[in-house]
Chains A and B, each alone.
Chain A
Amino acid sequence: MAADNLPSEFDVIILGTGLTESVIAAACSRVGQRVLHLDRRNYYAGNWASFTFNGLLSWIEEYKAQQELPSTKSEQGWNDQIEDEEEVIFLSSVDSSISNLEVFSYASEDSEDDEQPKAPQMDKAAEETNSCHTEAQDTDSFDSCTQSDSDPHNPEGNEQTSKIQDTCQSEEDKKDQQPIRSPEQPLEVKKKITYAKLLKEGRRFNIDLVSKLLYSRGLLVDLLIKSNVSRYAEFKNVSCILTYHNGKVEQVPCSRADVFGSKQLTVVEKRMLMKFLTFCLDFEQHQEEFQDFTDMPFSEFLKRKNLTENLQHFILHSIAMVSQDAPTNTGLKATQHFLRCLGRYGNTPFLFPLYGLGEIPQCFCRMCAVFGGIYCLRHSVHCLVVDKESGKCKAVIDTHGQRISCSNFVVEDSYIRDEQRAQTTYKQISRAVVITDRSILPSESDQQVLLVTVPPLEPSSPAVRMVELSSSSMTCMPGTHLVHLTCSSSGSAHEDLAPVVSRLFHVPNSCKEECVQGSEENEKPEVLWVMYFNMRDTSGLDNSSYNLPSNVHVCTGPDDSLGSDYSINLAELVFHQLLPDEEFCPPAPNPEDIIYDGDQGEGTTFENDAHKEGAVIEGEDEPQENKEQVFSSEPVQDSMGQEIMTE
């Protein structure tokens, strides 16, 4: 394997390809640091990754396998590389950041054309994810999710669907508890999307593990523009912001045009809302308006401003997007940020990257590779070699037993063993991924990207954020919509989010009896497939949370907020710890401005050079290639895609 030939010395070794790590990698490489960027997985972006449908099924399988596998460590074979004055810190070989994973499939199993997806297609799909899944794996995952003996007599459908939990059953056990297939409906007018269809079209999906949007004036967008990394990605505007209010989904008037066009607001409400929003834009200038409320919650402030109940709801839950008890200042700042982001690229403050959020870390990796960073996937670090005297990490020993020196080591949190942690209890993020058959917003165009805020259904339950993606965002197959639900956990993902899913969608087997009566129920989008899981939220942790050498920098995983400011801030912070005197991600030069030395210099394009210089070790792991092909064959792109342009 090519990795055997890795150089034995780097300036920075980075383990994990999530957003924070990738930004640091790009920033270091950009200013001339020799960067080795590793990930133990066979795909980029770690918990920030996006998967095809089949890729996601493999991910689920992997998760299950990991639950079963006792982590066996082979800690021999490289002990000879450790000297007396050195000691080692082992890294974790198991990723335990995901938990409570549950999958339910409601898509009909019969398929008129392709009874069984053909093996070659599966191959293709596997390539799409840049993964090297064996065919067996894919077929296996397919089987495990579809070959179910449906049990229509069991009234409690949810209970008997497959639960893939921490304490996981064996494969045999699960065979008996596979997802229910929806009862056959022979008089179906609309062509149903079958499970086989989902698999067949699986490569059209790009399902994010983390669901975030880009605030159009957030740190991430600024960074993409500043660094010229934006040239590697395309974006789509979030077209509309909705909220669950009074038992139905309503449009949130947030821009001037929305307020003007809103049918639900009275003219007086329109004036009040505009007036309040205008005030928020530069609220710092109007101390007198809010200084008496600084110790009070924002929700109280809204009440005191005589805003109607409607308006309070919109501002609190959908514009500021803060909790009931958030202080006034926080609410005002959040509102201001929202408003400042309006109109830069469209009528809402948000952008969504085409092909999924997983693209973004990869764009930064690409930038890193262009400037000489070396990439190895399926390649991790066993342990750190620490100099006893200085207490610093001087090298690492990788999973191939090679000792590689470095002056700094950056690592994603999930690679850290519990022994190195000050505490082992975490916040959690609850996530649900739902594939539905139509949009939650009936409108002439079903090609929208929607953000839906769902305030706590019960006082004790969390506020849920929902992003609905259409096929034009290149994240799901035509005829389906991909819905991401996110909240900060109070229970398991299923406990937190299933009530919202059943409130907003039509979940087939829960309605088996109601099907006849519920015409209203039929108005709602139908759930074809749903997955729940919890992701560890380590964003609260900092250096003091770990017992590690001072030149080992831990990057915490994704946080539960809508934007990515947290991760970008962290990346910049770590970068400045590594290189206090260097600029963070200065603009990458244009290809024509680069001077090539004699030995490097046939004037090929920058992109080609990237491959030459960037030395992407496992060629098929370079993700952009496949995507670009897909891209060029999609005519929709031209009108839909929106590129971030430098201003």
Chain B
Amino acid sequence: MHGRVKVKTTAQQEEEKRKEREKKLKVYLTVRDAIFKKRTNSELDEEALQLTQQLLASNPDFATLWNYRREILLHLETVKEDEEMQKLYEAELLFIESCLKVNPKSYGSWHHRGWVSSRLPRPDWKRELSLCDRCLSLDDRNFHCWDYRRLVVKASKVSVEQELQFTDRLIGSNFSNYSSWHYRSTLLPLLHPQPASDPESACQKHTRPTASPQTHGHRVCEEQLLKEYELVQNAVFTDPNDQSAWFYYRWLLGRAEREELISCVYVSREGERVAVAFSKPVNVVNLMLVLDGQPQQVEWRSVHPQFRHSPVWLCELPPSSISDINNEHNLTVHWTEKHTHRDCALYTGRMESWCRESATDQELFRSELSVEKTSVLQSELQSCTQLLELEPQNKWCLLTIILLMRALDPLGHEKETLTHFQTLKEVDPMRSSYYSDLCSKFMIENTILKMEYAEVRVFSLSDKNLSTLCHLDQLLLVTHINLCSNQLVKLPLQFTMLHCLEVLEADDNAIENLEGLYHLPKLEEVSLKNNQISKIADLSPLATCPKLTRLDLRGNPVTQADDVWAELAELLPSLTELLL
């Protein structure tokens, strides 16, 4: 039709573009070769700056070129005046800015910018900060920029208040942003630290040198905490499926740092052994054992050679020091490093004795969340329950409710917790194993509490869908354990902490591995009916248990092996009763 504008066809355009590309590539390669030649000849001149700039402008991720530029700039620093360098570096910043426009996530460019800023005789931090603001407004999750921003903030000493307002702003515009929430979590403890009068932080004070701001105690004063809870609630009620706010919530609810102390000292006349349990795994270097006022020369070992850090450590006293049942002994274990100790009296006529701080006393399993005030937790639980009514399928809400219930009253909420776990596994089947493990952990904790209330040394947790074992250090004194009808696949190495264990029942699981039945001095009976033990070799750890007399392996694949009787008799000569 007449009058119509003639436009190049796509093929024509393609062809032109192709030619253009070829030409560009040729230039690129020539310049690259020229640069490498200059570098080989150690030519650190401004021409090289020119050339590298040319290439970096189109490909800002060419790390070698940035390195070369730094070499040149460092060299120029030695020959030029400050004023000249200032100009040069300013030009460099401008150039990097153009590179960032090409690729806002270029590692090389951001790193070089950080370097230039640190070399600049008179840095303009305000400008850098506003550059970061601009970049983050374009992409609030550009972690390169976040990193650089932290550098700028540190160097220019921007106040914490301002930074907190900055996170306010970013969260306000889009709260699905880990970076902002996380940054907030590092700022709040600086701005609103937990009052020092708090017993915990007070007692830590003298042990800890004046900590650097970054690592200072991660707690926040309660007034501010309440404000933060409100903020998080706004986020989770607005979009309960956004995980960033929930994670921040978890941080707010806190993870208590357990105090380091000796939680239990156990002594047994039999074998003249001492076992010491700590509140968290330690690598003992400096334990002093005093028996009836006399420091003893003993050798401490962890429960298993593989553990360099362990919550339970063992030693043998010199022969005959406590073997006479008619003598009374006083034992003290000093942990010199931590200025703490624990005493234990072994009375006449008793074969063993212990002194411990119970899990109940320590509120061990509540401290998963460490908000001190129950009332606060209670109201948080209320609002989460309210949200759950609106969003019965929300996994984050369910999980948070479980955690809050545990913090408030683990035994009282046990039934609801189990129901919630069931729902969780249904709405989030991808993570059902994780929920199983978590549920196992909580069930074990509850059983430990119940056991302590009952003041018995029998740990019974059968038919509870356990998928994993944990808190075994808390079972140091247990003599009988029943783990029947669960979904365990192994008795892990930590099982060696059950130092007093005499009878183990673990029928009807899927256990293949017994590595944890290692050097258990009192273990006499093991029942492993209907498990998955398939090789004689899998039973070899049992050979380290000197008192083992009864073993029940019925319903295991291993029983089908040839010569099983003979081999077992050889492996475990002390057995008096073997059921296959």
Does B4 lie at the interface of the complex (its beta carbon under 8 Å from any beta carbon of A)?
yes
* Cβ-defined contact, B391 with A271, below 8 A: yes
Does B240 lie at the interface of the complex (its beta carbon under 8 Å from any beta carbon of A)?
yes
Chain B positions 216 through 237: 1 when the CB is less than 8 Å from some CB of chain A, otherwise 0? 0000000000000000011101
Q: Which residues of chain B from 1 to 57 have a CB within 8 Å of any chain A CB?
A: 1-8, 13
A257 cross-chain contacts in B, Cβ below 8 A? 172-175
Does B390 lie at the interface of the complex (its beta carbon under 8 Å from any beta carbon of A)?
yes
Task: With both chains docked as a complex, state the minimum distance between the C-beta of B168 and any C-beta of chain A, in angstroms.
Answer: 10
Query: Which has the most chain A C-beta neighbours within 10 Å: B1, B2, B7, B174?
Result: B7
A270 cross-chain contacts in B, Cβ below 8 A? 234, 237-238
Does A275 lie at the interface of the complex (its beta carbon under 8 Å from any beta carbon of B)?
yes
* Cβ-defined contact, B3 with A372, below 8 A: yes
The distance in angstroms between the C-alpha atoms of A371 and B13, with both chains bound, is 21
> Which chain A residue shows the least CB distance to B237?
A267
* Cβ-defined contact, B172 with A261, below 8 A: yes
The distance in angstroms between the C-alpha atoms of A33 and B2, with both chains bound, is 8
* Cβ-defined contact, A271 with B3, below 8 A: no
The distance in angstroms between the C-alpha atoms of A33 and B173, with both chains bound, is 48
* Cβ-defined contact, B172 with A594, below 8 A: no
Given A32-B2, A268-B390, A271-B391: A260 in contact with B238 (beta carbons within 8 A): yes
Contact of A34 among B3, B173, B234, B238 (CB under 8 A): B3
Query: Which has the most chain B C-beta neighbours within 10 Å: A34, A274, A593, A594?
Result: A593
Does B387 lie at the interface of the complex (its beta carbon under 8 Å from any beta carbon of A)?
yes
Given A31-B1, A256-B239, A272-B390: A593 in contact with B233 (beta carbons within 8 A): no
B173 cross-chain contacts in A, Cβ below 8 A? 257, 347
Does B393 lie at the interface of the complex (its beta carbon under 8 Å from any beta carbon of A)?
no
> Which chain B residue shows the least CB distance to A267?
B237
Contact of A275 among B1, B13, B383, B390 (CB under 8 A): B390
Given A268-B386, A272-B390, A275-B390: A260 in contact with B235 (beta carbons within 8 A): yes
The distance in angstroms between the C-alpha atoms of A126 and B3, with both chains bound, is 35
* Cβ-defined contact, B238 with A271, below 8 A: yes
Contact of B5 among A256, A272, A589 (CB under 8 A): A589
Does A574 lie at the interface of the complex (its beta carbon under 8 Å from any beta carbon of B)?
no
A275 cross-chain contacts in B, Cβ below 8 A? 390
* Cβ-defined contact, A595 with B7, below 8 A: yes
* Cβ-defined contact, B238 with A256, below 8 A: yes
Does A259 lie at the interface of the complex (its beta carbon under 8 Å from any beta carbon of B)?
yes
> Which chain B residue shows the least CB distance to A275?
B390
Q: Which residues of chain A from 319 to 373 have a CB within 8 Å of any chain B CB?
A: 347, 371-372
A261 cross-chain contacts in B, Cβ below 8 A? 172, 234
The distance in angstroms between the C-alpha atoms of A272 and B386, with both chains bound, is 12
> Which chain B residue shows the least CB distance to A253?
B238
B391 cross-chain contacts in A, Cβ below 8 A? 271
Chain A positions 521 through 541: 1 when the CB is less than 8 Å from some CB of chain B, otherwise 0? 000000000000000000000
B4 cross-chain contacts in A, Cβ below 8 A? 31-32
Task: With both chains docked as a complex, state the minimum distance between the C-beta of B541 and any C-beta of chain A, in angstroms.
Answer: 54
* Cβ-defined contact, A593 with B8, below 8 A: yes
Contact of B240 among A31, A260, A271 (CB under 8 A): A271
A256 cross-chain contacts in B, Cβ below 8 A? 174, 238-239
Contact of A267 among B1, B3, B233 (CB under 8 A): B233
B1 cross-chain contacts in A, Cβ below 8 A? 31-32
B235 cross-chain contacts in A, Cβ below 8 A? 260
Given A259-B238, A267-B237, A274-B239: A594 in contact with B5 (beta carbons within 8 A): yes
* Cβ-defined contact, B174 with A267, below 8 A: no
- Give the tally of cross-chain contacts (CB within 8 A): 65
Contact of A32 among B3, B383, B386 (CB under 8 A): B3
A597 cross-chain contacts in B, Cβ below 8 A? 6
Q: Which residues of chain A from 27 to 54 have a CB within 8 Å of any chain B CB?
A: 31-34
* Cβ-defined contact, A268 with B3, below 8 A: no
Chain A positions 258 through 300: 1 when the CB is less than 8 Å from some CB of chain B, otherwise 0? 0111000001101110110000000000000000000000000
Contact of A271 among B5, B174, B175, B237 (CB under 8 A): B237
Taking residues whose C-beta sits less than 8 angstroms from the other chain, chain B's interface range is: 20 to 34
The distance in angstroms between the C-alpha atoms of A268 and B238, with both chains bound, is 9
Query: Which has the most chain B C-beta neighbours within 10 Å: A260, A268, A275, A589?
Result: A260
The distance in angstroms between the C-alpha atoms of A593 and B172, with both chains bound, is 44
* Cβ-defined contact, B234 with A593, below 8 A: no
> Which chain A residue shows the least CB distance to B7?
A589
Query: Which has the most chain A C-beta neighbours within 10 Å: B3, B4, B174, B383?
Result: B3
Task: With both chains docked as a complex, state the minimum distance between the C-beta of A220 and any C-beta of chain B, in angstroms.
Answer: 24
The distance in angstroms between the C-alpha atoms of A136 and B376, with both chains bound, is 76
The distance in angstroms between the C-alpha atoms of A65 and B31, with both chains bound, is 73
B390 cross-chain contacts in A, Cβ below 8 A? 268, 271-272, 275
The distance in angstroms between the C-alpha atoms of A499 and B33, with both chains bound, is 77
Chain A positions 235 through 267: 1 when the CB is less than 8 Å from some CB of chain B, otherwise 0? 000000000000000000000110111000001
A372 cross-chain contacts in B, Cβ below 8 A? 3
The distance in angstroms between the C-alpha atoms of A595 and B13, with both chains bound, is 12
Chain B positions 387 through 410: 1 when the CB is less than 8 Å from some CB of chain A, otherwise 0? 100110000000000000000000
Chain B positions 248 through 271: 1 when the CB is less than 8 Å from some CB of chain A, otherwise 0? 000000000000000000000000
The distance in angstroms between the C-alpha atoms of A347 and B173, with both chains bound, is 9
Task: With both chains docked as a complex, state the minimum distance between the C-beta of A372 and any C-beta of chain B, in angstroms.
Answer: 6
Query: Which has the most chain B C-beta neighbours within 10 Å: A267, A347, A594?
Result: A267
The distance in angstroms between the C-alpha atoms of A257 and B238, with both chains bound, is 9
Q: Which residues of chain A from 8 to 43 have a CB within 8 Å of any chain B CB?
A: 31-34
The distance in angstroms between the C-alpha atoms of A270 and B383, with both chains bound, is 13
The distance in angstroms between the C-alpha atoms of A597 and B235, with both chains bound, is 62
B3 cross-chain contacts in A, Cβ below 8 A? 32-34, 371-372
* Cβ-defined contact, B6 with A260, below 8 A: no
B237 cross-chain contacts in A, Cβ below 8 A? 267-268, 270-271, 274
Task: With both chains docked as a complex, state the minimum distance between the C-beta of A613 and any C-beta of chain B, in angstroms.
Answer: 9
B6 cross-chain contacts in A, Cβ below 8 A? 594-595, 597
The distance in angstroms between the C-alpha atoms of A456 and B13, with both chains bound, is 57
* Cβ-defined contact, A267 with B8, below 8 A: no
The distance in angstroms between the C-alpha atoms of A233 and B4, with both chains bound, is 24
The distance in angstroms between the C-alpha atoms of A256 and B234, with both chains bound, is 11
* Cβ-defined contact, A260 with B5, below 8 A: no
* Cβ-defined contact, B8 with A595, below 8 A: yes
The distance in angstroms between the C-alpha atoms of A186 and B237, with both chains bound, is 53
B7 cross-chain contacts in A, Cβ below 8 A? 589, 593-595
The distance in angstroms between the C-alpha atoms of A136 and B235, with both chains bound, is 62
Given A261-B172, A593-B7, A593-B8: A274 in contact with B386 (beta carbons within 8 A): no
A259 cross-chain contacts in B, Cβ below 8 A? 238
The distance in angstroms between the C-alpha atoms of A34 and B1, with both chains bound, is 11
Task: With both chains docked as a complex, state the minimum distance between the C-beta of B111 and any C-beta of chain A, in angstroms.
Answer: 29
B175 cross-chain contacts in A, Cβ below 8 A? 257, 260
The distance in angstroms between the C-alpha atoms of A372 and B233, with both chains bound, is 60
> Which chain A residue shows the least CB distance to B10?
A593
Given A31-B1, A32-B3, A261-B172: A274 in contact with B8 (beta carbons within 8 A): no
Q: Which residues of chain A from 56 to 97 have a CB within 8 Å of any chain B CB?
A: none
B8 cross-chain contacts in A, Cβ below 8 A? 589, 593-595
The distance in angstroms between the C-alpha atoms of A597 and B5, with both chains bound, is 10
The distance in angstroms between the C-alpha atoms of A271 and B234, with both chains bound, is 9
Given A261-B172, A268-B390, A271-B390: A371 in contact with B5 (beta carbons within 8 A): yes
* Cβ-defined contact, A260 with B172, below 8 A: yes
Task: With both chains docked as a complex, state the minimum distance between the C-beta of B186 and any C-beta of chain A, in angstroms.
Answer: 22
B233 cross-chain contacts in A, Cβ below 8 A? 267
Chain A interfacial positions (CB closer than 8 Å to B): 31-34, 256-257, 259-261, 267-268, 270-272, 274-275, 347, 371-372, 589, 593-595, 597
CB pairs A–B below 8 angstroms (8 shown): A256-B239, A257-B174, A260-B172, A261-B172, A267-B386, A270-B238, A275-B390, A589-B5
Chain B interfacial positions (CB closer than 8 Å to A): 1-8, 13, 172-175, 233-235, 237-240, 383, 386-387, 390-391
Q: In the complex, given contacts A256-B239, A271-B387, what are 9 additional A-B residue pairs having Cβ atoms less than 8 angstroms apart?
A: A260-B238, A267-B233, A267-B237, A268-B390, A271-B238, A274-B238, A371-B5, A594-B7, A595-B8
7 smallest beta-carbon distances between A and B, as pairs = A32-B4, A267-B237, A32-B1, A595-B6, A589-B7, A271-B237, A260-B238
